[in-house]
Amino acid sequence: MVPVIAIDRAAPRPLHRQLYEGLRVSITDGTLRAGQRLPSSRGLASELGLSRITVLNAYAQLLAEGYLQSRIGSGTVVCPSLPDQAGVWNPQAGNGERSRSARRRLSQRARLLDPVSLTHAAFGRNPESARSGAFVLGQVALSDFPFQLWKGLLTRRARATCTESLDYGDNVGSRALREEIASYLRTARATRCQADQIMIVSGSQQALEIATRVLLDPGDGVWMEEPGYRFARNIFRVHGCRIVPVRVDREGLDVHHGIKRYRSARAALVTPSHQYPTGVTMSASRRFQLLEWAERSGTWIIEDDYDSEYRFDSMPVGCLQGLDPAARVIYVGTFSKVLFPSLRLGYLVIPPDLMERFIAVRLAMDIAPPAFQQAVLADFIREGHFSRHLRRMRLLYAERRSVLVESIRNEFGDGAEITGEQAGMHLSLTLRGISDRHLAELAAQQNLWLAPLSYSYIEKNRRQGFILGFGSTSAEEIPAAVRKLRTLVDSARRVSLVKPQLVAS
Ligand SMILES: Cc1ncc(COP(=O)(O)O)c(C=O)c1O
């Protein structure tokens, strides 16, 4: 018996491929049973009106994949050891939906995180950033990036590519790029570092992941700024660390509060140059307290220095790592803010004695990012385009920042508190009498992108307000957008005032 196999002579797929697929489906859905004999190639060819070589090709493929067996004297049979339950492993049903969930157990760490839908993932890390409009958080002024120049460098590198460059490169990232970064960090960020301490990674998120793997075990306590950077929280959660929220005030992380809450934490993640999201700069006394506590208690400090190149009213503030005589700071930097986020390049500055451990953990993950992008970036820095770009963007963002602060003062007067406007590409706005999440949803319908401040808190006592990105919002758009925001806030406050009266009457 030959199962019904539809052969379409007009289809672009070769006939032997169609026959192979037809037979394979018949085997996997149980139409052809284990041990069942197949017609001879000559017989099947004449039955289906095909050439014998077509049938032989299809049989050969099924033999090679183990669906068929050929025995001298008994012809070709369906492999007798295949499971004989029709449809059990039909590849058409392979989406997992029919399986019992108990059999599809995932690791506990995967279950610690909320799943992210494909629709959200399609919009990048911040699904909301797919929305256009004012104040999108974390977006840089892409249209002001010297794109033609970058394309020129890409082309030049592509032309110069030789076969040697196809090999695995340096495991910690391109030497040329590490040299450029080290020299930039020493001058611009007062970092103590040599190229040999630098590891190129694909953004700060990966840097934090590597540092966590090297430094922390499940159950270890980690201080996190409260409010703080919520994308880092998931890394610590997934590694089973105990997250200890530590208050942030006008001087940055409150070290005494941290010591009171959890003295023996293994690590602290801090953003001292421009605290995320409040934007405060950690004071000198707090820096020394933190370093002193870290040395005394054997704690690692992870310094996330994500956007401090843009400082508007004073010279850039030096980093914490440069003040640390005890080499307890692991410094994390990224090109996502200063260039563009799809570049996916960042770096770690690692204390020399930990370098070999970091490399070992890194090699167990993914080795270095693609060498080609690294080479182009090294050219960009070496030829002076990077510092020129930074200077230009500092002026552009300074203007946007000033217009935003002025517009907020005009619209809200004393009714809103602004923090963090001295640096970076966002500021924080605290507002009383609103629910920031609810208002953000309403604002989205009006093309206004408001990141609720309350999302950045772990504990219940949350400030309400918004983190407003001004990187991709032009100075011309800002006044009207702030007016829109005030109208929304006014009506939300009116509703919350009216509501209790309605209930009372
Ligand atoms: C506090 C903080 N760190 C780091 C980053 C950059 O992350 P990445 O380098 O993975 O793009 C961001 C981006 O929004 C951030 O807000």
| Best probe residue, ligand 1, of 204, 270, 278, 332 (max atoms within 8 Å of C-beta) | 204
Closest ligand 1 atom to 335 CA: 9
**Mean pLDDT across the chain, nearest whole number?**
90
- The Å distance, Cα 91 to ligand 1 centre, comes to 40
Q: Is 306 in the pocket of ligand 1 (CB under 6 A)?
A: yes
205 CA to centre of ligand 1 in angstroms: 7
Q: Give the CA distances from residue 156 to residues 63, 375, 376, 380, 419, in Å, rounded to whole numbers and listed in that order.
A: 49, 11, 9, 12, 44
pTM of the model: 0.86
DSSP tally for the chain: helices H, then strands E: 16, 14
What is the structure's pLDDT at 497?
59
Would you say residue 192 has pLDDT above 80? Answer: yes
Write the CA distances from 476 to 102, 389, 450, 470, 472, integer angstroms.
56, 22, 18, 12, 12
- What's the confidence (pLDDT) of residue 498? 57
Q: What is the average pLDDT across 338-359?
A: 97
Average pLDDT, stretch 25-36?
90
Measured CA distances, 487 to 103, 410, 427, 480 (Å) = 53, 13, 20, 11
Give the Cα separation of 233 and 226 in Å (integer). Answer: 11
CA dist 355 and 195 (Å) reads 12
pLDDT for position 91: 54
Of the pLDDT bands very low, low, confident and very high (cuts 50, 70, 90), residue 59 is very high
> 476 pLDDT band (50/70/90 cuts)?
very high
- Cβ distance 3 to 39 under 8 Å? no
Interval 400-416: pLDDT, tens: 999 999 999 999 998 89
pLDDT score at 286 = 97
Query: What would the pLDDT profile of 133-147 be if each residue is shown by its tens digit?
Result: 899 998 899 999 999
* Percent over 70 (pLDDT), the chain: 91
Per-residue model confidence as pLDDT tens digits over 201-221 = 999 999 999 999 999 999 999
Q: Hey, whose CA ends up nearest to atom 3 of ligand 1?
A: 306
Which atom of ligand 1 lies closest to the CA of 137? 14
For the cut 80, the answer to whether the pLDDT of residue 495 exceeds it is: no
Per-position DSSP letters for 198-232, written without gaps between them: EEEESSHHHHHHHHHHHH--TT-EEEEEES--HHH
User: Which of 278, 306, 335 maximizes ligand 1 atoms within 8 Å of its Cβ, making it the mutation to test the pocket?
Assistant: 306
Cβ 404 vs Cβ 478: under 8 Å: yes
User: Does the C-beta of 227 come closer than 6 Å to ligand 1?
Assistant: no
Q: What is the whole-number distance in angstroms between the Cα of residue 341 and the centre of ligand 1?
A: 9
Query: Residue 155: which residues within 8 A CB-CB, separation 6 or more?
Result: none
Q: Using a 6 Å cutoff on CB, does residue 28 contact ligand 1?
A: no
Instruction: Give per-residue pLDDT as tens, 101-145.
Output: 667 889 988 888 888 888 766 665 555 545 568 999 988 999 999
Neighbours of 188 (CB within 10 A): 15
Residue 501: which pLDDT band, with cuts at 50, 70 and 90?
A: very low
